[in-house]
Amino acid sequence: MSTDDSQKDPFGQETPLGEDNPFGDNPYASPDLGSAGAPVGPMPYYPPPASRGMVKHVPVLAILMIVQGALEVLMGLGLIGMGAFFPMMMQGEMAQQAGPPGGPPPEAMTWVLLAIYGGMGVVVLIGAVLHIFAGIRNYKFRGRVLGFVALIAGMVTTLMTCYCAPTAIALGVYGLICFLNPEVTHAFAMAKAGKKKDEILATFG
């Protein structure tokens, strides 16, 4: 048997392996793979859908970031309130008591407490606003770099105040794992190109 487009029968005649040959299309033969890797045949070829993988975790992460930011807002406002009212409540008591020799006057202690509590409250509020704004953006697969910044800032601010530190650290690790995933990076690139959230999730399964 030769390797060209014709086949010789036992009587010496050549039979073309084309449309006139009833045995040219063998239904039991292995499917021929074209250059693109898709089987060539009468049935259409549909590539398998991409797996969502970590992409489906991005909306969940965004919601958790918003919740974490809301908790941090409460803490930030509480610290600012303590910095404003707590020194005022103590000022009268501190004025009646004799301070130690060479110690700071009551007015100085009031400003110190205001600076400490107020400064901590402002820092926590900055991290809270970043968490909320980044969560809203990340829910639509936008602002991936902003999500990085919000997660890192949230871990730093909560370590300074020791408020919601376990949840902030866990959220930061979870978020970094999501944002560093190649499929998640591609999903954010699709959103930057104009794709909607539902379209992106449908693309990944």
For residue range 42-81, what is the model confidence (pLDDT) as tens digits? 544 444 444 568 899 999 999 999 999 999 999 999 888 8
The reply to whether 30 falls in a domain is no
Q: Taking the mean position of all CA atoms in its chain, how far away is CA 160?
A: 24
**Is there a domain that residue 52 lies in?**
no
DSSP structure class, residue 10? T
Q: Determine, yes or no, domain membership for 87.
A: yes
Q: Is residue 132 part of a domain?
A: yes
- Quote the DSSP letter at residue 193: T
3-state secondary structure of 5: coil
Q: Work out the pLDDT band at 83, boundaries 50, 70, 90.
A: confident
Q: Is residue 139 part of a domain?
A: yes
| 62 C-beta neighbours (distance < 10 Å), count | 22
Q: How far apart are CA 204 and CA 54, in angstroms?
A: 10
Residue 63 lies in domain: 57-203
Q: What proportion of the chain, given as a percentage, has pLDDT over 90?
A: 40
**Residue 1 in domain:** no
Among 51-55, 140-144, 189-193, the range scoring the smallest mean pLDDT is: 51-55
Tell me what the mean pLDDT of segment 179-184 comes to: 93
Please, what is the average pLDDT of the chain?
A: 77
What domain count does the chain have? 1
Across 29-38, 106-115, 116-125, 160-169, the highest mean pLDDT is recorded for 116-125
Tell whether 8 is covered by a domain.
Answer: no
Task: For residue 41, tell me if it sits in a domain.
Answer: no
